[in-house]
Amino acid sequence: MLKDDAPSNRVSLEDTEASATSALLLSLVVPTYNEAESVTAFLARVSEVFAAAASVELEIVFINDGSTDSTLERLMQHQATDARVRIVDLSRNFGKEAALTAGLEAARGQVIVPIDADLQDPPELILDMVARWREGYEVVLARRIDRNADSWAKRASAAWFYRVHNRIADLTIPENVGDFRLMDRVVVDALKQLPESRRFMKGLFAWIGFRTAFVDYERQRRFAGQTKFNGWRLWNLALEGVTSFSTDPLRIWTYVGCLVSFVSFLFAIFIAVRVIIHGIDVPGYASLMVAVTFLGGLQLIGIGVIGEYLGRTYLESKRRPIFLVRKIYEPKG
């Protein structure tokens, strides 16, 4: 299924003749954190997929995001026998968004495909994505049409996040689309111009735009290991996404404050009229405590929302690098 806006014919006759004589350089960007059990199977699957793709020259950029297991050693063993493997070793664990950014910075390909090593996203789909790219699309999104491999809680929270984010933010993020996608070099170069250090990559991918197509697939179960995104990390990622691309949470509390003040004003008029007409004072310890605690809670929530934005502004103002590279391991020969 493709978007309604049809692309222009980007491929000229000269490009077609050039592509017939030179292979397309495709970079796989693979963030890894404690994936020692998966990298061997991942490389075997990728090699099988691209064995017959003579028109594609493959580069596999692994980003070791501060793994504490034998991931780096396993990657170096594979690099010794596979010249396509490059390894970017970060100085510590910076998180997937930073590791993905590091991989995009290091990738040299004409097209770049971020993909996880757990084989939940099938490498076989990449060839279909390349076919869409050859039609003139600069971004090809892999859209999950079946997420039964994920837990119910993860599916429900994802649906809730997309619904809330796309309602309150000016930017629309495609639903059921992760980091697995194909991007033209011009798209990656545009991403590299974005300076923020607190990065929500799905939002940044959507913000830059470009002509986009979709390829549907069924998400598989992890080949090995455990997911690194628990409920708390997913919640923080959702907060990052909402606060990075919308100021509506701040605006909402303006309306909440106006509404509470208006109700309080009406209640004050009601009490005054009742006392004047009936001479009855309203006994009110319970109601007073409810009002105080309710308004106090609202104020604390509002301060918390402001704090989320202020904290992100503070971190951005430091202008620290998104990641630090300990060493880049290039293939020998």
Q: 3-state class of 194 per DSSP?
A: coil
Contact 30, 42 (CB under 8 A): yes
β-sheet bridge partners, residue 63: 31, 88
23 contact partners, CB below 8 Å, separation of at least 6: 54, 55, 56, 57
Superfamily of domain 13-232+322-329: Spore Coat Polysaccharide Biosynthesis Protein SpsA; Chain A (3.90.550.10)
Beta strands at 111-114 and 85-90: parallel, antiparallel or unpaired: unpaired
The per-residue pLDDT for 314 is: 72
Contact 322, 98 (CB under 8 A): yes
β-sheet bridge partners, residue 138: none
Q: Kindly report, residue by residue over 41-68, the tens digit of the pLDDT.
A: 889 888 888 887 778 888 999 999 888 8
Position 183 pLDDT exceeds 80? yes
Position 302 pLDDT exceeds 60? yes
- Report the C-alpha gap between 42 and 182 in whole angstroms: 18
Q: Kindly report, residue by residue over 149-163, the tens digit of the pLDDT.
A: 565 666 666 666 667
> Which of 154-158, 173-177, 224-228, 277-281 tops mean pLDDT?
173-177
* This model's pTM is above 0.85: no
Contact 29, 183 (CB under 8 A): no
Q: 3-state class of 132 per DSSP?
A: helix
Q: What is the DSSP string of 15-63?
A: HHHHHHHS-EEEEEEEEESS-TTTHHHHHHHHHHHHTT-TTEEEEEEEE
β-sheet bridge partners, residue 282: none
